[in-house]
């Protein structure tokens, strides 16, 4: 079993889900009392969020690369960045380490292709919904048609993620707004919707909507467990 190197804390609530799902998957695969071999570096999300809002992606890439290198030195067999947005730095991390990086978009695309979906809705932070690092990978590498909410909805979703979900406030977050936006994406032709922020699945469940949801936290964590056994 390869040791999984997690870069977590973005946020700790969703990183907790990674740890749980990875270990549950290993337990199912190997049976008995087996659990995953995991190393983790957990960052201060307050510092990460500030740099994101400032647009200081060079410093963010340095932080993610340093974390990945430290995991590599400690014996990790591969790297998992436990968040969607910070995959903007994934290419820099991969170029500056000597072990594989398991990309969340590739893991998600594999599930999409296995289900035969072609047109996909995407929810996440404004960085994930608007910038090329995520959408273009799905379009150019996997030939998918990716649609996102309108500008006003993108801004509202981003604000709710940053101000409420990332602060662990799931009780007061306006769940109905996420549901309305997901249903609008389905109305616009999305065959499934990517929950492209690892906090959204903590609020929105499949039973809330009819359109298939792609929980990137679960998909990525299960892929990490599978990869550790290859």
Just list the catalytic residues.
Answer: 83, 197
Q: Do the beta carbons of residue 102 and residue 227 sit within 8 Å? A: yes
For 37, the token pair is: 């071999």
The dihedrals phi and psi of 212, each to the nearest 5 degrees, come to -60, 135
Q: Which residues of 115-137 are buried (b: 16+ CB within 10 A; e: fewer)?
A: eebeebbbbbbbbbbeeebbbeb
Q: Do the beta carbons of residue 41 and residue 77 sit within 8 Å? A: no
Helix (H, G, I), strand (E, B) or coil at 146: strand
């Amino acid at each position: 079993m390869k040791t999984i190197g997690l870069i977590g804390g973005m946020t700790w609530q969703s990183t907790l889900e990674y740890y749980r799902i990875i270990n549950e998957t290993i337990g199912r695969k190997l049976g008995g009392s087996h659990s995953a071999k995991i190393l983790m570096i957990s960052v201060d999300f307050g510092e990460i969020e500030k740099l994101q809002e400032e647009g200081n992606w060079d410093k963010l890439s340095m932080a993610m690369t340093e974390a990945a290198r430290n995991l590599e030195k400690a014996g990790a067999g591969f790297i998992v960045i436990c968040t969607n947005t910070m995959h903007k730095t994934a290419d820099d991390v991969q170029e500056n380490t000597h072990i594989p990086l398991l990309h969340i978009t590739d893991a998600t695309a594999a599930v999409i292709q296995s289900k035969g979906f072609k047109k996909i809705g995407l929810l996440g932070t404004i960085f994930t919904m608007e910038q090329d690092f995520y959408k273009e990978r799905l379009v150019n590498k996997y030939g998918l048609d990716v649609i996102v909410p309108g500008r006003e909805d993108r801004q509202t979703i981003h604000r709710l993620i940053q101000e409420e979900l990332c602060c662990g406030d799931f009780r007061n977050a306006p769940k109905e707004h996420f549901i309305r936006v997901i249903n609008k994406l389905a109305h616009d032709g999305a065959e499934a919707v990517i929950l492209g922020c690892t906090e959204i699945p903590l609020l929105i469940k499949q039973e809330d909507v009819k359109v298939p949801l792609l929980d990137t936290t679960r998909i990525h964590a299960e892929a990490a467990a599978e990869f550790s056994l290859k």
